Amino acid sequence: MSQTIFLQNKEVTPINVLFIYPNTFGMNMLPPAIALFNALLKQHGHRVRLFDATYYSMDYGVDSDGSKSDNLNVVAYDPSEKGIVMKNTSWFDDLQKEVDDFEPDLIAMSTTEDMWNLGLILLDSIKDKIKNRRTPVIVGGVFPTFAPDLVISSNLVDMVCVGEGENSLVDLAYRIGKGINYDNVTNLWVKTKDGRLIKNSVTDPVDINSLPMIDLSLFEDQRLYRPMAGKWYRMLPIETIRGCPYKCAYCNSPTQTDFYKNNGSSSYFRKKDMNLVYEELKYFVKNHQMEYAYFWADTFLAMSSREFDEFCEMYQDIKLPFWMQTRPETITDKKIERLASVGLNRISFGMEHGNEEFRKKYLIREFKNKDIIEKLKIPHKYGVQFSVNNITGFPYETRELAMDTVELNRHIDADNQNIYAFVPFHGTPLRKLTEELGYVKHTDITRCLTDKPMLDQPQYSASEVEGLQRCFVLYVGMPKSRWNEIAKAEKNTPEGNRIFESLKEEYMQKYIMNPEKTADLEYGSKVETKSIISSD
């Protein structure tokens, strides 16, 4: 297999690289991949700029955090408290000005699937300018990796990066600068001038310990802030792990692993040296005044005992509050107590579904409800808040099965619960199933997690999914004696909306705005619950 390597001791002709990030308001995480590419390109002498679509007042119909606040999944927040303001100018005007001013030699777009349609709209707005300048456009990310045929089919796109792009982008920029043909750059699908499509080989996953520290200089200062539990923090993303050892069917991690294995490569799952993590943390505190660390690993605690000890010893010198995401079965009293002592502030747990058999068969999540309940008693013992993430609207799911998710959440004293409509992202095992069942076509592009449900199944309609989404927190928190009333609030009718707003106001005033319950979105006692715990 051919291997692209970082360019060493080669004379580079600098070029201008413009990144486009087609993000929407409410999707607040700063994209670490762009920050890493920025560092790599600058390391090789190139000039880099970014057009970030996040904080524009233009309506694209998506406000992720706003949707979650409407459904009581998160506490509402006011971005103006940190000086975060929306731009009143146009995406299109500002992007065109950026192209005119910077005169890029390469345009690179990093996109997820739910951003792709906006990405196309933005590229279309500058198509005449890039055509006149003959500026090539490359698109990369998880979505282009698993649906490269869809991305490359656009006449606005010249190249697609399939797999990781660290080496490929550096090689591509070098070749463009030197005027060298780039048709054979590894990991790229390239449209040639004579109309052919070249699909180059895929290299091994990059050694993440060889990469430079991410460079945040592209981002406006307000992009360094992120909401957490109703407050804004200067919060920066830290990489400790890339990939995930688990096989969840709704996630692309198992497909990433298979993708590289099928291309004859080594394991996709990699861990970063704790000394490098430490240096990055210290740099962010000193140079970016970081207030809160955001460890964006899929499963943060997928580490050995030695690695765990190394992290705790390292982080006790940082002692900033931090967030992590992990699975319930990875935590113990000992681990959470120690993590809390060095700064652990909040955990996000992926539980996804409350029915053990369904969860095991279709989601490839094998653990017992009784174990989840016991494990999730641990964080509060040590003053650590946590949220639980759930999904509904899976293929083969029914309303009755979905209510098992409600029941399990009623047994858990979470600080808040999120529930999302199932989204069949390209590159996930469940995407293949939904296509086989005829619910989506290969060409269908998914929506945002907080958008309306994509699947409309005969046994569990999209309107039922949407109704349960908006009333989920009420079902979990309110006594069962109120469930008939809540069921009426699911309906998107004048009466249903009136009842929902009334229940929402009651819930907000009594249980969220109560000073003693500010961080605890639970409502009422855990009584009248159906048994969902298996006997074995």
C-beta neighbour count of 286 within 10 angstroms:
9
| Cross-strand bridge partners of residue 138 | 108, 159
Q: Could you give the count of Cα atoms lying within 13 Å of 329 in the half-sphere of its Cβ? A: 9
Sign, CA torsion 273/274/277/283: negative
pLDDT above 50: residue 73: yes
In a domain? residue 147: yes
Count up the domains in the chain and report the number: 1
pLDDT above 50: residue 1: no
In angstroms, the CA 140 to CA 154 distance is 14
342-391 pLDDT per residue, tens: 999 999 999 999 999 999 999 999 999 999 999 999 999 999 999 999 99
pLDDT above 80: residue 395: yes
In a domain? residue 33: yes
pLDDT above 80: residue 94: yes
Confirm if 4 and 92 have CB atoms less than 8 A apart. no
Confirm if 466 and 453 have CB atoms less than 8 A apart. yes
The pLDDT of residue 456 is 96
The pLDDT of residue 230 is 75
With b for 16 or more beta-carbon neighbours within 10 A and e for fewer, the 91-102 pattern comes to beeebbebbeeb
In a domain? residue 170: yes
Among 341, 405, 328, which residue's Cα sits nearest to residue 367? Answer: 328
In a domain? residue 81: yes
For the residues 444-451, what does the mean pLDDT come to?
Answer: 89
In a domain? residue 227: no
Q: How confident is the model at residue 512 (pLDDT cuts 50, 70, 90)?
A: confident
The pLDDT of residue 28 is 73
The pLDDT of residue 227 is 85
CATH code of the domain covering residue 134: 3.40.50.280
Dihedral of the CA atoms 401, 352, 529, 487 (nearest 10)?
-60
| Percent above pLDDT 90 for the chain | 79
The pLDDT of residue 461 is 98
457-497 pLDDT per residue, tens: 999 999 999 999 999 999 999 999 999 999 999 999 999 99
The pLDDT of residue 69 is 47
291-350 pLDDT per residue, tens: 999 999 999 999 999 999 999 999 999 989 999 999 999 999 999 999 999 999 999 999
Among 103, 170, 73, 118, which residue's Cα sits nearest to residue 419? Answer: 73
In a domain? residue 217: no
DSSP H helical segments within 414-461, as ranges? 429-436
pLDDT above 80: residue 451: yes
Q: Could you give the count of Cα atoms lying within 13 Å of 298 in the half-sphere of its Cβ? A: 16
The pLDDT of residue 266 is 74
In a domain? residue 469: no
Task: Transcribe 150-202 into DSSP letters.
Answer: HHHTSTT-SEEE-S--HHHHHHHHHHHHHT---TT-TTEEEE-TTS-EEE---
The pLDDT of residue 24 is 80
Residue, of 134 and 61, whose pLDDT is higher: 134
Q: How confident is the model at residue 522 (pLDDT cuts 50, 70, 90)?
A: very low
Average pLDDT of the chain is 90
In a domain? residue 382: no
In angstroms, the CA 161 to CA 183 distance is 12
Among 399, 389, 393, which residue's Cα sits nearest to residue 419? Answer: 389
DSSP H helical segments within 198-350, as ranges? 253-262, 274-288, 305-315, 333-342
For the residues 179-208, what does the mean pLDDT come to?
Answer: 96
Range of the domain at 74: 16-204
